[in-house]
Amino acid sequence: MQHEGDPIVIEIRDVIDLHTFRPEDVPELLDDYIRACVEKKYSSIRIIHGKGQGFLKARVEGALKRHPLVASFKTAPPEAGGWGATIAILK
pLDDT for the residue 1: 59
Q: Write down the pTM of the prediction.
A: 0.87
Q: Would you say residue 8 has pLDDT above 90?
A: no
Mean of the per-residue pLDDT values of the chain: 92
For 8, 44, 59, 91, the CA distances from 5, given in Å and listed in that order, are: 9, 30, 23, 32
pLDDT category, 2, cuts 50, 70, 90? low
CATH number at residue 49: 3.30.1370.110
**How many structural domains compose the chain?**
1
pLDDT for the residue 71: 98
Structural domain of 81 = 21-90
Assess if residue 39 is contained within a domain.
Answer: yes
Q: What is the mean pLDDT of residues 69-85?
A: 97
Q: What is the mean pLDDT of residues 56-79?
A: 96
